[in-house]
Structure 1
């Protein structure tokens, strides 16, 4: 029998507080609902923005956590592809299924769904022992993929969508990654997996630069000042692709000046809604530059599972990625370590 209450971490937007609470166990699933006993739940940079009041979320208190894996605990009567005991990962995003955007295959841009209806932001999420979600958002994890790896399916599904948006990326391209947090580390891992070697990573925090070195990609890992020095020594120096994983607008603005003619910038990191950058339309015209933004993960969860299968422990080892696990009761310690940059990512190990 499941417990009547469970541990959960809740954010109260009005009080600007994150608290460990005793929450009621999710009520019995109906129709196409699934209750997942959470095993691993990640802390995303977006969660930090939410806690700081820089990213919108539900006005009423909400259990955060939009990256999680676990074991099916119970299913509604209309659920046919899952059963109790199945190992699963949860896609927190879905559309309204009625609007033109959803019917056009772009549910991530839906004004009702997409990022406006995300589990763990607008609905109670995975920073809890149990979470109830729609069955269509629950993906069975293959037997050879661990739940420890599967919790990375959500960020990797977003990267997969980004990859599709900026493709093709010819091997031999000169690539600049801005930011060596977990997203920068995962982008670096995927690029290395795909055969890319001419990659530079710019990161201001020494601790994060050291963590990136653990990936053993032999990429150039430098400071923003060292990046500027490249251009100062050779005004013609540049890169073919910039992937921003920092969400820091001034860094993006400076990187625009480093893109070679015909090059691209991928805006992947989530910024504050108030952030702004200045762009020269003349430079865009003269160099035929392309700026591509990436919003979550439409239909890319299966691709993420494929990447996890291909990446395996070579790229997804927690120690190499700079990931540290915590219990729910250690949430303050986890958030503080992330803010300091002493780790690349924190993940709650719950089950």
Structure 2
């Protein structure tokens, strides 16, 4: 069995009554604004419990991030045959390949996440960035793709990457801002470029109704997740799990009873 944690919406505010549940004025998130997985008890609506068939417990933990990626793809609604660049080595690249992309380039820092993306064949091309000095890789990427990409997805949460991402968008293309940023982060894009090149800027935040599709997608095996959970700890070892996650030597970390 799999439980959908994540968001709660009030269903009565201005945005909810318009069907824009992610913009709920009384938005709550388990584990963020309300007690979540670290609480002794959590009450979950029965409709948010799902049966899984072909996924291990560890693999099932990846349904939630996949559901957020599905929401992002819904918002993008790209045409078949599009070329995409994604900053960050998450589940979005596989979704793009499965939904009409003719080319998917993954650009991410060297490390375990990028290696797993390669192992899963998540993209068609890979650009490994040097954490200290990524400028040479940026220059090579621009040189090899002088017309840019139809779709660029910024999924790292890096202010610096978000600022530069627009320079890879093809004229008439779309830039999706998908990472998590600090409120103090700022970007400096030329309005003349957005206007003259007819670039569409799209924001994508979490999800409310994509979880069932994510369950079906991962359970079908079409989205590959084997090996993405690199470390499993018992609940009693949660402090070690947190340290492992902070060390940047793991892709995903899971806790088991």
Alignment of structure 1 residues 266-277 onto 2, 5 Å:
266-277=176-187
Q: Which SS does the other structure have where 1:131 is aligned?
A: coil
**Residue 206 of structure 1, CA deviation:** 3.3
Q: Identify the match of residue 190 of structure 1 among 95, 118, 128.
A: 95
Root-mean-square deviation (CA, aligned residues, Å) is 2.3
Q: Distance in 1 between matches of 2:32 and 2:156?
A: 20
Q: CA deviation at 1:287?
A: 0.6
- Give the secondary-structure state (helix, strand or coil) at the position aligned to 2:224: helix
2:44 to 106, 116, 133: 133
Shift of 1:249: 1.4
Q: Could you tell me how far apart the structure 1 residues matched to 2:239 and 2:5 are?
A: 26
TM-score by length of 2: 0.87
**Cα distance, 1:146 vs structure 2:** 4.4
Alpha-carbon spacing, 1:140–1:293, altered in 2? closer, same or farther (3 Å): same
Match of 2:168 among 232, 255, 258: 258
The equivalent of 1:347 in structure 2 is: 254
Match of 1:332 in 2: 239
Determine whether 1:315 maps to 2:220: no
Deviation at 1:265, TM superposition (A): 0.9
How far is 1:144 from its partner? 4.4
CA contact (8 A) 1:193 1:311 kept: no
Return the match for 1:201 from 80, 91, 106.
106
Deviation at 1:169, TM superposition (A): 4.0
Task: Identify if the C-alpha distance between structure 1 residues 217 and 179 changes in structure 2 by more than 3 Å, giving closer, same or farther.
Answer: closer
SS of the equivalent of 2:10 reads: coil
CA distance in 1, matches of 2:144, 2:178: 28
Unaligned runs of 5+ residues in structure 2 are: none
Deviation at 1:322, TM superposition (A): 5.1
Distance 1:217 1:89, change over 3 A: same
Aligned to 1:120: 31
What CA distance in whole angstroms lies between the structure 1 residues aligned with 2:124 and 2:248?
A: 20
Distance 1:191 1:154, change over 3 A: same
2:83 — aligned with what? 174
Distance 2:112 2:31 in 1: 29
1:195 CA drift (Å):
5.2
Structure 1 residues 189 and 127: CA distance shift in structure 2, 3 A: farther
**Alignment partners' CA distance in 2, 1:261 and 1:324:** 42
CA deviation after TM superposition for structure 1 residue 293, in Å: 0.5
CA contact (8 A) 2:231 2:252 kept: yes
Deviation at 1:130, TM superposition (A): 4.5
CA distance in 2, matches of 1:144, 1:221: 29
1:260 and 1:195 map into 2 onto residues whose CA distance is 17
| TM-score of the superposed pair, with normalisation by structure 1 | 0.65
1:205–1:339 Cα change, 3 Å: farther
**CA displacement at 1:268 relative to structure 2:** 0.9
Note if contact 2:172-2:199 (Cα within 8 Å) is conserved in structure 1.
yes
Q: Indicate whether 1:284 and 2:194 are aligned.
A: yes
Aligned to 2:126: 221
CA 1:124 to 1:253, structure 2 compared with 1: closer, same or farther past 3 Å?
same
- 1:103 is the counterpart of 2:10: no
- Specify the structure having the higher radius of gyration (Cα): 1
Q: Which moved more, 1:193-202 or 1:96-105?
A: 193-202
